[in-house]
Chain A
Amino acid sequence: MLTRLFPDPLTLAAVQAVVAGLLALLVALLAWWMHLRMEKEIIIALVRGLLQVIAVGAVLLFIFQGPTAVGFVILAAMMVVAAQMSAKRAQGLPDAFRVSLYSIAAGSGTIILLMVALGVIDIKLTALIPVGSMLLANSMNTASLAFNRFRGEVLSHVGHIETALSLGASPRAAVLPYVQAAIQASLIPRVDSLRSLGIVWIPGVMTGMLLGGSHPVRAALYQFVIMAMILTVSATTSILAVLLISQRIFTPAEQLILRSETEG
């Protein structure tokens, strides 16, 4: 119906946004009516989301006209921000920012370059930036999960780790079970989403391509490519992040740093 009234695609999109926004405003009304005390928050979130996403669109419009190199610069900047964010999940883990930067850069960076070189990701900015940022975001989430789990495992097994050290084990051997547990835990969401692909959900890329009128099988295959890349990126990031951080929680004299000081 709207398509016939507004033949210009940009106007159409704006009208669609207004319609969806109005529906969401009904939710705010409902929240007010049910005394959920969320109506203000919902309205602010709606306006904020709209403005942010338009801003990003405008920036992308500008960037897409630039040279390919711009894409790599942007992805590099995103990596630094991603590293900062996941380092926050590593409270108490020494040198966390550098470790997460190295592992995110190595994990997502190498895969992005490899995929661009092989032609799996289009060198065009319209593909490089969104696909690259998607891989980066997954890399970041995995690093956060891995740090968080590793920290928890170590803190709850201080006695076992120090017992192993006391028996003459190397720091590497003493933390091995917790390194494995952290890597494993951080990859569960990736493996699960690959396993449920298409059955429980039709993810973003495929949805987008279908909306854009692509052949469904082509859209499905490309979605699989993305998911497989995400798994590879996540695994590389997680393994690197945990291995690097596990070396840093010991002093050169092979004493565990990450623990609350005990006395007796």
Chain B
Amino acid sequence: MTNGPLLRTEHLSRRVGDTTLVHDVNLELYPREVLAVVGPSGSGKSSLLRLLNRLDEPTEGTVYVRGVDYRTIPPRELRRRVGMVMQFPYLFPGTVADNVRFGPRQRGIELTDDEVDALLQRVGLPGYGQRDVARLSGGEAQRVSLARTLANQPEILLLDEPTSALDEAAKAGIEELLRQILASGEFAAVLVTHDLAQAGRLARRVLIMEKAHIVRSGDTEEVLRAYQAVP
């Protein structure tokens, strides 16, 4: 395995009609690294994230995963390796365990009860396996969504505003859980958030996006300081 970036984008762009959603983004993500992408709504940060697991097709440029052009990787394999957690949990009707088993089941792998329990333990929901997802709180649902993505054993996590749909109390809990999981060093992650302070707490490096462009990048603390200096 090389020491190069886990993920690298090259002139990554997406245009739909006359609208440019993402323009010429070049970024690198190294193993165990957490990279935050911060910007106001409509700046293209979620659009960028959707290009990274190829939920949308780049109109220009491409992405390399461990040096391999991702257009040569079968989409299902790519999306297992580059896991995504969305802003809303979008749980499938059924039990918590059904949801956790969803990803591996697509490849014909059936997680054992112990494996499901271990994943739920990890996201702070021990013993939740048989609960109906319709009866979960917003924070619990987002935890299940995270466990469901982790069940696929991804190399990279894409986190799309994972706390912005939650109330204040749940927000702090999920952020703390993310901090623990990211600190484990098992994953590299790209975190999209509109909250620069949150980026500071979770990521070492940050990209600022405005109107489809990366306008600034660097060490999170430096960028934070620069933005606090200019009101």
B106 in contact with A159 (CB, 8 Å): no
Q: Which residues of A contact B80 (CB under 8 A)?
A: 167-168
Nearest chain A CB to B168 CB, angstrom units = 21
Which residues of A, 158-190, contact B by the 8 Å Cβ criterion? Answer: 159-160, 162-170, 173
Q: Bound state CA distance, A164 and B16, in angstroms? A: 24
Q: Are A173 and B106 in contact (CB under 8 A)?
A: yes
CA–CA, A256 and B103, complex, Å: 18
Cβ–Cβ < 8 Å partners of A164 in chain B: 92, 102
Q: Mark B22-55, 1 if CB is under 8 A from A, else 0.
A: 0000000000000000000111111100000111
Q: Main secondary structure on chain A at its contact with chain B? A: loop
B54 pairs with A264, CB closer than 8 A: no
Cβ-neighbour of B77 out of A160, A167, A168, A261 (below 8 A) = A168
Decide: A255 and B57 in contact? CB cutoff 8 A: yes
B67 to chain A, nearest CB (A): 20
A168 to B74, alpha carbons, bound, how many Å? Answer: 10
Bound CA span A254–B43, Å: 25
Q: Which residues of B contact A169 (CB under 8 A)?
A: 76, 102-103, 106
Find chain A residues with CB under 8 A from B46 CB. 262-264
B7 at the interface (CB under 8 A from A): no
A41 CB to nearest B CB, Å: 41
Contacts A167-B106, A169-B76, A170-B106; A162 near B21 (Cβ below 8 A) = no
A263 & B42 in contact (Cβ 8 Å cutoff): yes
| B residues adjacent to A (C-beta < 8 A) | 16, 19, 21, 41-47, 53-57, 71, 75-77, 79-80, 83-84, 86, 88, 90, 92, 102-103, 106-107, 145, 148-149, 152, 160-161, 192
